[in-house]
Structure 1
Amino acid sequence: MAKYNPVTPELLEELKKVVGAANVKTDAETLDRFKTDEETDPRLMHLPEVVVWANSTEEVAAVMKLANRFVVPVTPRSAGTSVSDGAIPVLGGIVLNMEKMNKIIEINEDAMYAVAEAGSRTIDIQMAAKAKGLLYAGDPCSAESCLIGGNIATNAGGNKAVRYGTTRNQVFSVEVVTPTGEITTLGSRLKKCSTGYCLEQLVMGSEGTLGIICKATLKLLPLPPYKVDVAAVYDDLDKAVTLVPNLVKAGLEPTSVEFMDSNFLKSSCEYSEIKLPHCDEGVCYLIVSMETFNEDEVDAKMEKLAEICEESGAIDVLEADDRVWTVRRNCLESTRSLSKIAQSDDLVVPVDQIANCIKRLTEEAKKYDFTMFCLAHAGDGNLHFQHMKGDMSDEAWEEQQHAFHETAYSYVYSLGGRISGEHGIGAKKVYAMEKYTDPVELAMMKAIKKALDPLDILNPGKVMNVY
């Protein structure tokens, strides 16, 4: 691991010259506020030495140049919605907050693109596009609070990834500050390009370790005016997961297919104070959304969808109204009342292996004292297992989490899967990244990081240990 210097009075004065004294904070209250993201385990939190708010790309670049000069680590921070400890300053130093760079610069209706600064809220971009009759298809579940820079840095997924892909599929280009403080634009507003390495795709999903995203040009699409939302209720997991391939084979092209197990369904219904049909009967829900530009197609798709659901063994088929989506959105939040400390696994497997993975790991979890619930973006193979610590001792919690993950990660890789589908590695899964990644692939990643960030200044301690 690289060796860093402490933040000195001299560096603080230099930072104030760059961003203004009001944007440099070292008081105890501010430092305490930025010691964590969505992490709730106090043992994994780390205080920064200073928090800096940038107002422009030029200021971000100047801060990075100072950090290299003084050899102080920088943790870029978006909205702090990471559940993999991606925004925690694990090695102290500077937290560089991007939330003041929040302008939506342009919505171009004719060429169908948007330009937004990194601190723009995802939902604001969605609404600005919608006001012009367009769609920004990136749709992480935290859209109301997360920022576009963080979405791009983590390649966020979400409910619509089945049809539209993840965040990287919604981006033309990014304005980036490199780890050494240079400014560049990667990518271009093109349909295709074979001009050198695809560096914009390299930076997207790198979790703020290869560059700080300051501005992005985003793809917009025509907004489908008609939508079908259906909730299929199953009392048999094997039958439930056959729905996804059947939808694809029928050519229905779902926008999203969301799975809630019986535990999440019950806890979120209680938390949301909504009683959905069958929620107390040990069933699971699959929520299917489809979009269309043709009104005549709505009834036909609805009829075909209901038919496929019934043929696959659904015990009930319901309209997925706002109540159903509220329960789905509140699933993770509902578990906070059950356990103050929790671990959210974000595993991804080939779509045809979802049932096997859920059944195998649910059975494996029964060997331990923690409680585990399951959600899934079933249409793209992304599984979320929420582990709740409850009354376990810290030592037992750590020991049992490690033992479970040794089995779970090996099994997921044996299926052709990976340990993160959308949340990223952050600081939380560095050990697993090192253990389960092919050594040649890992060496290539480390070589890239060392070449672009020779002092390991930018977001060190995340994704992998470089030094």
Structure 2
Amino acid sequence: MQYNKVNDGIIEELKTIVGAANVLTEHEKMEMYARDEVSDQLWEKMPEVVVKPENALQISEIVKLANRELVPITPRGGGTGLAAGAVPMIGGIVLSLEKMNRILEVDTENLFMVVEPGVTTGEVQKTAREHGLLYAGDPCSADSSFIGGNVATNAGGNKAVKYGVTTRHIYGLEIVMPNGDIVTFGGKNVKDVTGYDIVHLIVGSEGTLGIVTKIWLKLMPLPKYVADLLIPFADMQTAIKVVPKIMTAGIIPTCLEFMDSLSIKAAEMYLNKKLPYSDAGAYIICEVDGTSETQVQDDYETIGKLCQENGALEVFVADNKSTQERIWKARKSYAEAIRMLSPVYCMEDIVVPVSEIPKCLEAIERISKKYDCKIPSCGHAGDGNIHATILREGRDDHAWHELKDNVLRELYEVVYQLGGNLSGEHGIGAKRAEAMHKHMTEAQLNVLRSIKKALDPNNIMNPGKVLVLQ
């Protein structure tokens, strides 16, 4: 596809639409929009212009202008993505949703919150709690990620085992389509099968099919009782093999996470605090919640006993807020902590069936030894989502890219052999687009291409992400 450059005339039209203060053209002001949280410079690209609309009508006009002039648009939330999904790899307009940051409604009767995409996930959670309610979407980046970005990648997170990933909590969307039309699908109806399920087509589409401008989030009553378990094991394999036993014990944990020894040490360095049992080979971190204190206690005692019978070194129960925060801070700091080991790294987001996690981790260890590199791993054990991170350490550019290519080729092959897939929650973006094409059948890709072509015939919406179009 041949795109046009953003010229002075287009910039003046953008200023007319959103106001001159909301149009950035200076290099130093646009620089932060040239990357997300991917640490490799390979996935950085300067925008030609950054615009900050304040409502759906302005976005509609921007999209119409981009379509007319054949200029690509890259929608952007908080920039916390890990797949270069919000990076303008083909240049053009970065459309930042940072100014659309209002909570429009909290409906305590129907248990809904209506928000704009620029609200942080943490603010959504906090507002729900203030009303005695729970928004169960809980990515580790909640304090900085935008809810719109969660929708774009169908973010998972810690509570996905019990409450599901983002799509389960989305009941309605207002969308600016690639032709500039503003449409709304869904809303506060709990049941709705009127026409195609456009809401859940858009969730996870990474800004390639439209720009979300309003979101209807489902809330639920806040659990009265919560307990967390920190369970150290001597080695990773012993730890991870207990996960299927927990998942089939008649209990649905709210969270079921794991950290390997490298991840534990990195968290200690980053937090500059001694963690409990930090000499362990692995952690399992488990949370249970409920409306009855007795039920929660029974659940964590059952899980604790199971773990002790299967090699746990100890079962540490945290049933007060400060201790719980201490445990979760170690897990949630994973991405930041990894930078303490290596400022440049490649964080993967592979997912396999829960029963196949032990084999996948064995393969990661084997690949790590084969290529003499460190690959710390942690993730969401309860749903098979593994964050395996290749560290660059002291390698030069050539050695680093060669290492990445070799490790990822073998890692992805293992994942697909185990019935898994490339991404559980971070998305495909630009970073994994070629790998997705390699591992999908032509028939599968044709379905995706047909949808993209029907909705975005000029391919202006986040081109180069998810699908590589000719």
TM norm structure 2: 0.97
**Separation (CA, whole Å) in 2 of partners of 1:62 and 1:298:** 52
Match for residue 206 of structure 2?
A: 207
Tell whether the 8 Å contact from 1:343 to 1:388 is kept in structure 2 after alignment: yes
Tell whether the 8 Å contact from 2:175 to 2:211 is kept in structure 1 after alignment: yes
2:359 partner letter = N
Alignment of 1:64-463 (within 5 A): 64-281=63-280, 283-320=281-318, 321=323, 322-463=325-466
Match for residue 23 of structure 2?
A: 24
Tell whether the 8 Å contact from 2:364 to 2:375 is kept in structure 1 after alignment: no
1:298 partner letter = V
| SS of 2:145 mapped into structure 1 | coil
**Separation (CA, whole Å) in 1 of partners of 2:217 and 2:279:** 43
Q: Does the C-alpha gap of structure 1 residues 351 and 323 become closer, same or farther in structure 2, counting only changes over 3 Å?
A: same
**Separation (CA, whole Å) in 1 of partners of 2:468 and 2:300:** 50
What is the aligned-residue identity percentage? 44
**Separation (CA, whole Å) in 2 of partners of 1:47 and 1:369:** 34
Greater CA deviation, 267-276 or 428-437?
267-276
Greater CA deviation, 345-354 or 247-256?
247-256
Greater CA deviation, 74-83 or 238-247?
238-247
**Separation (CA, whole Å) in 1 of partners of 2:65 and 2:221:** 44
Greater CA deviation, 345-354 or 328-337?
328-337
Render the CA deviation track for 1:321-354: whole Å, top value 9, x for unaligned: 2222111111221121222211000000000001
Render the CA deviation track for 1:347-404: whole Å, top value 9, x for unaligned: 0000000111011122112111432100120000000001111111211111121111
1:427 partner letter = A
Tell whether the 8 Å contact from 1:101 to 1:119 is kept in structure 2 after alignment: yes
The CA deviation at 1:252 is 1.8
| SS of 1:230 mapped into structure 2 | strand
Runs (4+) of structure 1 exceeding 4 A deviation are none
1:134 partner letter = L
| SS of 2:34 mapped into structure 1 | coil
**Separation (CA, whole Å) in 1 of partners of 2:461 and 2:433:** 16
Tell whether the 8 Å contact from 1:232 to 1:287 is kept in structure 2 after alignment: yes
TM norm structure 1: 0.97
| SS of 1:271 mapped into structure 2 | helix
- Structure 1 spans left out of the alignment, 5+ residues: none
User: Cα RMSD over matched residues?
Assistant: 1.2
The CA deviation at 1:251 is 1.6
1:443 partner letter = N
**Separation (CA, whole Å) in 2 of partners of 1:416 and 1:9:** 51
**Separation (CA, whole Å) in 1 of partners of 2:45 and 2:247:** 45
2:77 partner letter = S
**Separation (CA, whole Å) in 2 of partners of 1:428 and 1:39:** 9
**Separation (CA, whole Å) in 2 of partners of 1:230 and 1:70:** 56
1:180 partner letter = N
| SS of 2:382 mapped into structure 1 | coil
The CA deviation at 1:274 is 1.8
The CA deviation at 1:41 is 2.1
**Separation (CA, whole Å) in 2 of partners of 1:447 and 1:370:** 41
**Separation (CA, whole Å) in 1 of partners of 2:214 and 2:423:** 25
Aligned residues: 465
**Separation (CA, whole Å) in 1 of partners of 2:415 and 2:41:** 29
Greater CA deviation, 302-311 or 445-454?
302-311
Tell whether the 8 Å contact from 1:86 to 1:427 is kept in structure 2 after alignment: yes
Tell whether the 8 Å contact from 1:102 to 1:119 is kept in structure 2 after alignment: yes
| SS of 2:143 mapped into structure 1 | coil
Match for residue 11 of structure 2?
A: 12
